A and B are shown apart, each in its own frame.
Chain A
Amino acid sequence: MIASRRVADTVIILIILLLAWQALHQLVGATALPGPVPTLAYLAKFVPSERFAENAWATLVCFFYALLLSYGIGLAFGVWMGIHRLSGAVGEPILISLYTLPKVTLYPVVLLIFGLSLSGRVTFGAMHGVLPVALLTMSAIRNIPPVYLKSARTLHLSGWQTIVTMLFPATLPEIVAGLRIGFTLTLLGVLLAEMFAAKQGLGSLIINAMQLMQAEEMLTVAVVLFAFAALANALLLWIEHRLHHRV
C-alpha cells in the first residue's frame, strides 16, 4: 500500500518535471532547449552508439577507482577517529571545514601534480567522497550505546566476536548512509573534473556538445546521468531503510 503510493508519487514528480521541461522548451525555443520528445528520440539513437559507450566506459572506470579510494580511505579514517577519541575531537572540525570548502578551487593543483590523466580525475573524485564517508563512519562508532559494550563484556565476547556480532551490525546503517553520500559526491567530483579538463568521459561530452551547440546531445547525456544517479541513490536508500528496520 505504502510502496504503491510511493511509486505513484515518483511518477507524479516525473510527469511534473517533464511538463516543466516542455514548458521551458516552448518558452526559450527549440535551438536552445529541445523538448522532451526529440531528446528522448535522440537518446534512443545515441545511447547504443559506440561514441557514447566509449565515453560512458571512461567515466565508469574513473568513477570506480575514485569510489574505491573514497571508501577505503574514508572508512579507515572514520574508524580511527571513531575509536581514538582524541584524534576524533582534533580532526572533526578540520574535516567539516574541508567538507564545506568548494573543492573545485583545488583542481588546478591536482592537475599540476598529475597532469591531464586518469589519476588526476580519480584523485579529484576521491577528494569529494572521502570526507562524508569518514565523518559518518566516525559518528556511527561514537554513537554506539555504551550498554552494548557492557553486554559484550558481560558475555565474555572475544575482541573479534565483539566486532562481528556487535560493532559491525550496530554501526552498519549509519555507515551505509555515509557510503551513499560518498557515492553521490564522488560522482559529482569525477564529472566536474571531466567538465573542467578532459578529452574523454560524459562530462567532457556535455561541454563539447555545448560548444558545438548540439543541445540534444547535451541534454541526452544529462538525462542519462540524472537517471543513473537517481536510481543508484534510490537503491542505496532502500538498503539503508532495510538496515534501519531489520530489528
Chain B
Amino acid sequence: MSRVGWIRLAVLAIAIGLLELCCRLGLIDQRVVIPPSEMAVALVRLLISGEANEQIVRTFGIVLLAALISVVAGFALGAVIHALPRARQSLDPFFATYYAVPIFIFYPVMIVIFGLSAIPIVLMGVATAIVAMIIATLNGLDRVPQVLAKVARVHRMGTIATALRLKLPAAAPHLFTGVKLAVSYAFIGVIASEFILAPAGLGRVISDAYTDFNNRQMYALMLLLIIVATLVNMFLHVVDQRWAERRGIAKP
C-alpha cells in the first residue's frame, strides 16, 4: 500500500480508537453511543443468531431488484432518447432539475396509491436511481466514435446488431459509471424509504430499535449497513477505475 493509503488507514483507526476511548471513559454517554467494539460484537452475535436474516435478505434483495430495473430500463430509455435529438433537447431541463427535487416527498403518495408493501419501496429505489443511468447512457452514446457508425454501415449491420455489438461495448465505460451511481442511489432510496415508513426491512428494524431504546441492535444493524454499502461502493469504484484506465479515459 502507498504512503497515503497507510496515513488514511491510520486516520480512520485513530478516529475509531478515539470514539472507543471516549465511550469507555464515560465522556460519551453509553445510552447515546455504545463503544465500536461492542457494536462489532453485537453485530456478530446478531448474525450468528440469525434473528435479522429475513430482514437483511429482504432489504438487500429490494436494493438489488431496484438497481437491476434501473440499469436495464435506464439504458433502454437512454438509448431511445439518444435516438430522438429533439426529445432529448426538451428533456435536458428535466434532467438538470431531477436530482434537485427531493423526490422522497412523493413516497407518501406512492404509499397511498400502492399500499404499505414492498412496491412503493422498489419504486422509490428505481426513482432515485434510474435517471442517473439514463444520463450516463446519453453521455456514453455521445462519445461513441463516428467511425463505428460507418463501420456498421460498411458491414450492413441492422439497428439492433449495431446497438449490441458496436455501440454497447464502445459506450461501456460510461455505462459502468451509470451502474455504479444507480447501485449507490438505489441503496439510498430503498433504505431512506424503509426508515420513513415500511412494513419490514432493515430500515424499519433500525428505526424500531431506536424507538425501543434497543441500542445494541440498532448500532449492530447500522454497522452492517455501513459496512455493506461501503464495500459495494468501493468495489464498484475500483472496477470503474480499472475500466476507465483500460479504455484510456482515466478519471482523476
Residues of A at under 8 Å CB distance from B? Answer: 6, 9-10, 12-13, 24, 28, 32-33, 86, 89-91, 93-94, 96-97, 100-102, 104-109, 111-113, 139, 180, 184, 187-188, 191-192, 195-196, 203, 206-207, 209-210, 213, 215, 218-219, 221-222, 225-226, 229-230, 232-234, 237
Contact = CB atoms under 8 A, between A and B. Distances in A.
B192 A102 contact: yes
B44 interface: no
Interface stretch (B45-53, B106-114, B141-149, B167-175): B106-114
23 contacts: A13-B90, A13-B91, A33-B109, A89-B4, A91-B11, A97-B233, A101-B229, A101-B230, A104-B195, A105-B191, A108-B209, A112-B32, A187-B102, A191-B105, A196-B196, A196-B207, A206-B105, A215-B109, A218-B109, A218-B112, A222-B105, A229-B100, A234-B97
B contact patch SS: helix
B33 interface: yes
B8 interface: yes
Contacts of B192: 102, 104, 192
Contacts of A113: 32-33
A79 B215 CA distance: 37
Contacts of B11: 90-91, 94
A139 B237 CA distance: 18
Contact of A206 (B33, B90, B108): B108
Nearest to B115: A32
B137 interface: no
Interface in B70-110: 89-94, 96-97, 99-102, 104-109
